[in-house]
A and B are shown apart, each in its own frame.
Chain A
């Protein structure tokens, strides 16, 4: 193989990966600072790395998201995001050297910001990127065609609140990536017309269990994927062959979780949320099952169409999913079973979110509790566009672009949009756009993670750090778009001229 052919192959690979390059740049570019949800996760990471404990006591004044267990303050979140952040956090300590080994060193705020930025990208950003890659592969496997698959991938990764939550250290994107990973393992086997191998079954168990233990409500969606795989063939022989590897895969995160809760709360069979201390949370969590009671119509409208937290308001292209699901589950579709499980995941997730006392996610962009199932909504929207043929791409472009623009405006300004009256609030038009008009982007709220010594100026982006003015800094990565797509466009034009 000559150097030239190698270079060609590398270029071709890079060309195929161009939407992912855009996504990676966008995810790495923005940093949102912190707030209680992230602070409690950072605090646990720091406690594990620096003190070898799960007690976040020294940092607890900086977050309201905390629980009480075995005589100490603990994080009220699942430990997996904090555990995922451990290597990146430990690496920043190694790079910074012993002099600045503690994150509460207030002498170097720019350095601290860079370290937090790095840790967030290494967990949420990479999880979002992996989600985008999996989404692209599933879309191609479902016969979307390259162009449409890329468009839908960009729509999913940059035109939904997956973009927003890939720039903060929450668990939604990581959990969503794990869920989609499990779905991909199953879909890949189905597309190849075979059953799961044992290693695949172990991987499926691991991914689905980890998804459900990273964000507990996602356990229901993970169970649906498991049922989908189980429904392929119900036989004793198959159960004997696959059940053990699935259980072995699932046992690993379950054991880690049990060890964590045993050490932090004194029981292997409890959840951190059961021990929350803030009355505002404990009163909410005490309703129904961990705060989930009967669905409410106002919450349903709130998470779907409202200007406050509506997913279709924020990402109009996802509205195509309604029609897309009707086609995906229709008898004629080759991937009907996948359509059934995807629609079940979306319906159950929406119903659970509309039943949750904090359906709006407090400080959030759109309905953050739906982030993990957004990939299935976006796939269904893609099915609608796929079935429209050539017109589908044009319609997709017309709906995906405004979605990306909206999310870009929001992510550059403020992801932790405030809690407001759901009936009248419109944070996009009342907070985000005025901030852009004033040039106050990012628009920092008070940074509650004083655990890391940074206060209200923690939200930033790489352009600002490079000294660009706020609006230019917020838009700088958009310049990549023509660069990445210039070559294929030029090639197409050349071909057309040649044809003439």
Chain B
């Protein structure tokens, strides 16, 4: 009986504590700022001790030592060696970025990399990008497994020279990142903010992963010492309503957390910001035949609700090509609604609407019979209550359509350029893109 009374008293206390704890959580939730949580972990590697959340996995004679400037990943290995810093386990989000800040040496035997490691039943799976900064040009290697589960399929792609447009790397701190875009089925390596060509993968959201930063050394030689000062894993926001964007493209690079840049592997294509001139989009189809998306710049995901988009464009040339602005959703079938600026038969430029907007989900292309100036502002106003999209040119309404995309669907903004047929070429500057919910 005494034991029972004691248990009841204990249970009473636990009940009270649980109720107070839950009330506190509700209060904290109600008072916490910010519209939507973004899972993020930034590990500052500078300090006299290694951060407790960090796992170290060393083999072959390399190790990790703390220092005021960051963790020194090094040693004097007699043969192939590797040391890895592993951050906290997390759930792989559909859109995520892993970045590390490292001070590299130009030793050609040494590779520095970042990425993700998944621990499964059948052993470890990984997807990483490694930088070998050796002269005269650096090499980036995307390496690992095509998928986090199922039959093993290795993926290895070496990027160098013209593919990367990264010149000789100076000594000092650099930022190496891997952006994972699961909806698009790609990982995008990013060096000092500059996106490199994407590599297709089939990883799936929900897998438990650990962000990793590593140094590999091949063979014996001089001592290795790479200083890593930051390791960050950031889930990119999937906002509920359209994100507020005021992008002038006046930075040196495109913000990789805001935009994913996909460039065609065929032909010569370029999407380059900077110089206060906006975003330069340039392309020449080369041997590419038929329709080919040349440049696609994709924004973060949000649930389709009312928004207003304004894009200022200067078009220098547009031949057998189209500049496109719009929305797309990817579930099992990609659905979209896009306005395209294309060359008109008269020699000027005109607008087309493309995508699913007939109420039956079928893809359509329809000329709007509206001319577009060489320098002008294109507007899209989506009204979620009515389900309509108004198209504007320089502030004037020119058309209204009803996209098949429905309120609440997960969508992304997309703009860029397509080659419409063989021999296509374009050059345009996107001065600004503004989006308001």
Interfacial residues, chain A to chain B (CB-CB below 8 A):
61-62, 106, 279-280, 282-283, 286-287, 304-305, 307, 310, 312-313, 316, 319-320, 322-323, 325-327, 330-331, 362, 384, 399, 419-426, 428-431, 434-435, 438, 440, 443-446, 448, 455-457
In the assembled complex, B26 has its CB within 8 A of some CB on chain A: yes
Tell me the count of chain B residues lying within 8 A, CB to CB, of chain A: 51
**CA–CA, A323 and B14, complex, Å:** 8
Asked whether, in the complex, the Cβ of B8 is within 8 Å of the Cβ of A445, the reply is: no
Asked whether, in the complex, the Cβ of B4 is within 8 Å of the Cβ of A307, the reply is: no
Asked whether, in the complex, the Cβ of B29 is within 8 Å of the Cβ of A429, the reply is: yes
In the assembled complex, B319 has its CB within 8 A of some CB on chain A: no
**CA–CA, A457 and B11, complex, Å:** 46
**CA–CA, A280 and B91, complex, Å:** 12
**CA–CA, A380 and B206, complex, Å:** 35
**CA–CA, A330 and B4, complex, Å:** 6
Asked whether, in the complex, the Cβ of A438 is within 8 Å of the Cβ of B241, the reply is: yes
CB-defined interface of B228-253 with A at 8 Å, one 1/0 digit per residue? Answer: 00000001000011000000000000
In the assembled complex, B305 has its CB within 8 A of some CB on chain A: yes
In the assembled complex, B15 has its CB within 8 A of some CB on chain A: yes
How far is the CB of A57 from the nearest CB of chain B, in Å?
15
In the assembled complex, B350 has its CB within 8 A of some CB on chain A: no
Asked whether, in the complex, the Cβ of A287 is within 8 Å of the Cβ of B18, the reply is: no
Rank and list the top 7 A-B pairs by shortest CB-CB distance, nearest first: A326-B11, A444-B408, A283-B149, A429-B29, A421-B39, A279-B149, A456-B406
Most B-side CB within 10 Å, residue of A323, A325, A420, A435: A323
**CA–CA, A329 and B22, complex, Å:** 25
Asked whether, in the complex, the Cβ of A313 is within 8 Å of the Cβ of B22, the reply is: yes
Chain A hits for B22, CB < 8 A:
305, 310, 312-313, 316, 319
Known: A327-B11, A446-B329. 18 other contacts (CB 8 A): A282-B149, A283-B121, A312-B22, A316-B23, A323-B15, A384-B15, A421-B39, A422-B91, A426-B25, A429-B29, A430-B29, A431-B240, A443-B240, A444-B406, A445-B409, A446-B408, A446-B410, A456-B409
CB-defined interface of B48-75 with A at 8 Å, one 1/0 digit per residue? Answer: 0000000000000000000000000000
Identity of the chain B residue whose Cβ is nearest the Cβ of A453 in the assembled complex? B361
Chain A hits for B90, CB < 8 A:
421
Chain A hits for B36, CB < 8 A:
430
Chain B hits for A430, CB < 8 A:
29, 35-37
CB-defined interface of B356-377 with A at 8 Å, one 1/0 digit per residue? Answer: 0000100000000000000000
Known: A307-B29, A430-B37, A434-B35. A457 touches B408 (CB 8 A): yes
Asked whether, in the complex, the Cβ of B409 is within 8 Å of the Cβ of A312, the reply is: no
**CA–CA, A422 and B15, complex, Å:** 23
Instruction: Give the contacts of B1-37 with A (CB-CB under 8 A).
Output: 1, 4, 7-8, 10-12, 14-15, 18-19, 21-23, 25-26, 29-30, 32, 35-37
Asked whether, in the complex, the Cβ of A425 is within 8 Å of the Cβ of B37, the reply is: yes
Asked whether, in the complex, the Cβ of A280 is within 8 Å of the Cβ of B206, the reply is: yes
Chain B hits for A444, CB < 8 A:
406-409
Chain A hits for B235, CB < 8 A:
421
Asked whether, in the complex, the Cβ of B12 is within 8 Å of the Cβ of A287, the reply is: no
Known: A425-B37, A438-B241. A327 touches B407 (CB 8 A): no
Asked whether, in the complex, the Cβ of B206 is within 8 Å of the Cβ of A287, the reply is: no
How far is the CB of A388 from the nearest CB of chain B, in Å?
11
Most B-side CB within 10 Å, residue of A61, A283, A445: A283
Identity of the chain B residue whose Cβ is nearest the Cβ of A322 in the assembled complex? B15
Chain B hits for A325, CB < 8 A:
11
B8 interface neighbour in A61, A323, A431, A443, Cβ under 8 Å: A323
CB-defined interface of B387-424 with A at 8 Å, one 1/0 digit per residue? Answer: 00000000000000000001111100000000000000
Known: A425-B37, A455-B406. A313 touches B204 (CB 8 A): no
**CA–CA, A304 and B19, complex, Å:** 11
Interfacial residues, chain B to chain A (CB-CB below 8 A):
1, 4, 7-8, 10-12, 14-15, 18-19, 21-23, 25-26, 29-30, 32, 35-37, 39, 90-91, 93, 120-121, 147-150, 204-207, 235, 240-241, 303-305, 329, 331-332, 360, 406-410
Chain B hits for A307, CB < 8 A:
25-26, 29
Chain A hits for B149, CB < 8 A:
279-280, 282-283
Chain B hits for A323, CB < 8 A:
8, 11-12, 14-15
A305 interface neighbour in B21, B206, B407, B409, Cβ under 8 Å: B21
How far is the CB of B117 from the nearest CB of chain A, in Å?
15
How far is the CB of B433 from the nearest CB of chain A, in Å?
24
**CA–CA, A319 and B12, complex, Å:** 10
Known: A323-B12, A434-B35, A445-B303. A429 touches B206 (CB 8 A): no
A286 interface neighbour in B29, B37, B121, Cβ under 8 Å: B121
Known: A305-B21, A326-B11. A331 touches B4 (CB 8 A): yes
**CA–CA, A362 and B117, complex, Å:** 22
Chain A hits for B93, CB < 8 A:
421
Chain A hits for B150, CB < 8 A:
279, 282-283
Identity of the chain B residue whose Cβ is nearest the Cβ of A33 in the assembled complex? B408
**CA–CA, A384 and B19, complex, Å:** 14
**CA–CA, A326 and B12, complex, Å:** 8
Chain A hits for B303, CB < 8 A:
443, 445
**CA–CA, A305 and B14, complex, Å:** 12
**CA–CA, A282 and B122, complex, Å:** 12
Asked whether, in the complex, the Cβ of A426 is within 8 Å of the Cβ of B29, the reply is: yes
Chain A hits for B21, CB < 8 A:
305
Chain B hits for A320, CB < 8 A:
15
- Pick 9 A–B contacts, CB within 8 A, sort by A: A279-B147, A305-B25, A310-B22, A316-B19, A326-B10, A384-B15, A425-B37, A444-B408, A446-B408
How far is the CB of B197 from the nearest CB of chain A, in Å?
26
Chain B hits for A62, CB < 8 A:
332
Chain B hits for A446, CB < 8 A:
329, 331, 408-410
How far is the CB of B29 from the nearest CB of chain A, in Å?
4
How far is the CB of B2 from the nearest CB of chain A, in Å?
11
Asked whether, in the complex, the Cβ of B410 is within 8 Å of the Cβ of A313, the reply is: no
Chain A hits for B26, CB < 8 A:
307, 313, 429
Chain A hits for B30, CB < 8 A:
429
Asked whether, in the complex, the Cβ of B19 is within 8 Å of the Cβ of A330, the reply is: no
Chain B hits for A434, CB < 8 A:
35, 240
Known: A307-B29, A448-B331. A420 touches B204 (CB 8 A): no
How far is the CB of A174 from the nearest CB of chain B, in Å?
26
**CA–CA, A89 and B169, complex, Å:** 66
Asked whether, in the complex, the Cβ of B120 is within 8 Å of the Cβ of A283, the reply is: yes
**CA–CA, A331 and B18, complex, Å:** 25
Identity of the chain A residue whose Cβ is nearest the Cβ of B207 in the assembled complex? A280
